[in-house]
Amino acid sequence: MRLRFLLPFAVLATATPAMAQDSAQPACELHIWPAERFQAMTTGWLGGGLLDAAGHANGDKARRSHLASALDPQGQLDALTKLDLVKLLNLPPSKIVTHAEALDRKTINKIKTRRSDSAATCYSELMVTDVFYQKAAMWGRSLRTSFMLRTFQPGTAEPTIRKTMGGNGLKIFPVKEGEDTTAADAELIDVFQRNFSEAAGNFAKQTASR
C-alpha cells in the first residue's frame, strides 16, 4: 500500500512564494502592512495652484475612491505576496506575516519599536506608506508608491530604517464614469507590483552605499 505524507495544515496555509523552499518554518520573519492613505492630484496647463486644484477636485476625489477600492488593504497584500519578496529584498529565508489593518500614518515615523508582538530574533517590517496617483499635463499619468523597510538586528531596540518609492506610468486608469473598471484595476495592481520591484532595487542601493 502506498502512503501519502502531507505537510501540516499550518505550513500549507501560510506558504507563499516569498518563503523558504523547504517545508521547515524559517527562523526569520517579514511582517507587512498595507497603506491607509491614497492621494490623487491632477494638474493642467495652469501648473498647479488653488485654481487648478479646485478645477480637478471632484475628479481627483473619484480617482482616490477608485484607488482605495482596487488597492484596498487585502489587494495590496495579495499583490505583494505574489512576488518573491525575500529575494527582492535580499533577506534571509523568512516567514511572511501579513497584517490586514493599516497602521496609522501619523505613527509610522514616530514609533521605533516593533509594530507586532513577534519575538523573533530575525525580524523585519515592510510598510506601504502612501499610494499616489498623479496626472500632469506635460508628463501624463502615473502611480507612485512609497515604502519603508525596517530591519531589527539582534540585541538592538531600534531598527535600521530605509525609505524609498517606485513609480510607473498608467495607460488605462482612470476610466470614465460608468465604464467597466476591470482592466484599470488590473493595471493598478500590476503597476503597484512594479513600483515595489523598483523600490526594492532602491533599498539595495541604499544598503550598498552604507
For 29-41, how does the pLDDT look when each residue is reduced to its tens digit (9 = 90+)? Answer: 999 999 999 999 9
Q: What domain range is 121 assigned to?
A: 29-208
Best CA proximity match to 193, nearest among 15, 17, 13, 14? 17
The answer to whether residue 21 sits within a structural domain is no
Higher local confidence (pLDDT), 156 or 134: 134
Cell numbers at 25, concatenated: 518554518
pLDDT category at 54 given cuts 50, 70, 90 is low
Cβ atoms of 167 and 140 closer than 8 Å: no
Q: Average pLDDT of the chain? A: 86
The answer to whether residue 10 sits within a structural domain is no
The answer to whether residue 19 sits within a structural domain is no
Which residues is 136 bridged to in the sheet? 43, 140
| pLDDT tens-digit series, residues 102-130 | 999 999 999 999 999 999 999 999 999 99
The answer to whether residue 24 sits within a structural domain is no
Q: What CA–CA distance (Å, rounded) separates 188 from 66? A: 10
The answer to whether residue 7 sits within a structural domain is no
Type of residue at 210: R
The total number of structural domains that make up the chain: 1
Total residues belonging to the chain: 210
| pLDDT tens-digit series, residues 90-101 | 999 999 999 999
Q: What CA–CA distance (Å, rounded) separates 53 from 86? A: 40
Kindly report the pTM of this predicted structure.
Answer: 0.83
Find the DSSP H helices in 71-181: 73-81, 85-88
- Collapsing DSSP to helix, strand or coil, 194 comes out as helix
The answer to whether residue 187 sits within a structural domain is yes
Q: Which 8-state DSSP code applies to residue 22?
A: S
The answer to whether residue 166 sits within a structural domain is yes
What phi and psi values does residue 12 have, to the nearest 5 degrees? -65, -40
SS3 string of 27-95? CEEEEEECCCCEEEEEECCCCCHHHHHHHCHHHHHHHHHHHHHHCCHHHHHHHHHCCCHHHHCCCCCEE
What is the reported pLDDT for 14?
40
Q: How many CB atoms lie within 10 A of CB 166?
A: 21
The answer to whether residue 99 sits within a structural domain is yes
